[in-house]
Chain A
Amino acid sequence: MSGIVAQNLNRQSGLIKAAEAGGGAWTFISKTTASGDSTISIASGIDSTYGVYLITCKSIHPSNTATEFTINFRDGSTAYDADKVTTYIKIRHAEADDLDNFVYDTGNDATGTGGHLLMENVGNQNDASTSGTIYLYNPSSTTFVKNYICDFHSMAPDPAVADHILSAGYCNVTAAIDGVQFAFDTGNIDSGDFCLYGLST
């Protein structure tokens, strides 16, 4: 190719060479928006294409107050019930400054096939929600258990508390994990966005 190759970005007229392609290691895969759903499933897009997956949860708002927000994993069947071992660290500080709390919460870690608790006591005040991230490592492996790391924040109801939950665990299976499902323990997911990204490794 010959001809126009020079950068000309600062001029307002004439032939303008396009910007360089940006690239980037993270790839957007899908977005799922909740609207009064009992569960939100990401049932496709998690496979061997990427080594690490990131799921972002933005402004997840429950229909019921003081609910528990959970994730579960699909490991070969249609059910979201992979066996798990989890840890749960809680950091809290109340708006009224009458509660500070930093503990390893043995009441909320878990073993078994039930949902992994991402955030407890999510309020349903109009301005309340929970947001956070889940990193899922090597889900397509049929050799290793599947480690994942979660970091969430929310506004607890009455009294309002800044809740920060650091949880993690592993799906204790060597079957591939190919889907995840979110739910509140009571009521629906009124609103919120769930985005899936893949990291080239």
Chain B
Amino acid sequence: MSGIVTQNVLGNSGLIKAVEAAGGAWAEIKTLTASSSATLSFVNGADNVVLDSTYPIYVFEFISLHPATDDSQFQFNFSVDTGSNYNVTKTTNLVKAHHSEGDTSDLAQDTGNDMQQSTSFANLCVSIDNDADSNISGKFWLFNPSSTTFAKHFLSDIQQVEHGSYAHRALCGGYGNTTSAVDAIQFKMGSGNTDAGKIKLFGLKDS
């Protein structure tokens, strides 16, 4: 690009370069809208996605994701080769709190759905209901994915309608046990497609 590049904000005439976009501390990077999607992937450098050292922390917001298949799981995996493979070794922990419309409740660690040193997709929440009004919403924090020194910690917090009409909150934490930079992430349902909903990616500025 060439031409007008200098600031001229004090000039009252002529061509005036606009002020820099002010932005907030959370930079919106990309929104993916599900439409019977088998997978939803954010790959650094593709389709305007940034997932590198530009930001130290990334946040994914899940907004009303609806599964095609009843009693499914919502899962993710990391990639260290810009999406050629989603198979990073992970160890995770998962806790669920649920309360039924019939007023039964429970709080427990879900040892059947956590993961130890596995390259498979990790469950962020399970037993998702797929009634027309059911969905999941929540967030996923990813710390320092571009580091080539540290394992990659993540924290997620999802509220869902559980199969059987439960309010179900799933708290998942873990780390990608790799010192390679994570440069892509893929989300999907464990069975069937993601019918609808959005995933928004933000980067947290540190300057």
Check A26/B26 contact, CB under 8 A, given A58-B56, A97-B116.
yes
A-contacting residues, B140-193, CB 8 Å: 141, 143-144, 147, 149-151, 153-155, 157, 171, 173-175, 177, 179
Q: Mark contacts of B85-103 with chain A using CB atoms, 8 A cut-off: 1 yes-contact digit, 0 otherwise.
A: 0000001111100000000
Instruction: Give Cα A63 to B105, complex, Å.
Output: 43
What are 14 A-B pairs with beta-carbon distances under 8 A?
A18-B18, A22-B21, A24-B27, A56-B57, A59-B144, A91-B173, A94-B91, A101-B109, A131-B144, A153-B153, A153-B175, A155-B151, A164-B155, A197-B25
Chain A residue, CB-CB nearest to B174:
A162
- B22: Cβ under 8 A from any A Cβ: yes
Q: State how many residues of chain B have any CB contact under 8 Å with chain A.
A: 51
Interface pair B116/A195, CB less than 8 Å apart? no
**Chain B residues within an 8 Å CB radius of A127:** 149-151, 177, 179
Within 8 A of B (CB), among A126-177: 126-133, 151, 153-155, 160-164, 166
CB distance from B12 to the nearest CB of A (A): 10
A16 contacts chain B at the CB level, 8 A cutoff: yes
| Chain B residue at minimal CB-CB distance from A131 | B143
Dominant secondary structure of chain A at its interface with chain B? strand
Is A24 in contact with B23, judged by CB distance below 8 angstroms?
yes
Q: Mark A1-32, 1 if CB is under 8 A from B, else 0.
A: 10110000000110111111111111110010
B56 touches A27 (CB 8 A): no
B173 nearest CB neighbor, chain A only: A164
User: Looking at the complex, which of B37-45, B66-74, B126-134, B199-207 is the stretch in contact with chain A?
Assistant: B199-207
The number of inter-chain residue pairs (CB within 8 angstroms) is 153
Cα distance A101–B108 in the bound complex, in angstroms? 10
A93 contacts B26, C-beta separation under 8 Å: no
Option from B3, B111, B175 in Cβ contact (under 8 Å) with A155:
B175
Tell me which of A19, A91, A129, A195 contacts B21 (CB under 8 A): A19
Does A23 lie within 8 Å of B22, measured CB to CB? yes
* Contact (A153, B174) CB under 8 Å given A93-B93, A100-B111: yes
Kindly provide the distance from the CB of B58 to the nearest chain A CB, expressed in whole angstroms: 11
In the bound complex, do residue B153 and residue A130 qualify as a contact, i.e. CB atoms below 8 Å apart?
yes
Instruction: Verify B155–A153 contact, CB threshold 8 A.
Output: yes
CB distance from B57 to the nearest CB of A (A): 6
Cβ of B28 under 8 Å from chain A: yes
Apart from A22-B24, A59-B150: 8 A-B pairs, beta carbons within 8 A: A3-B15, A26-B25, A59-B147, A59-B153, A91-B95, A95-B116, A155-B175, A195-B204
* B1 in contact (CB, < 8 A): yes
Give CA–CA (A16, B146) in the complex, Å. 33
Residue A61, interface by CB 8 Å = yes
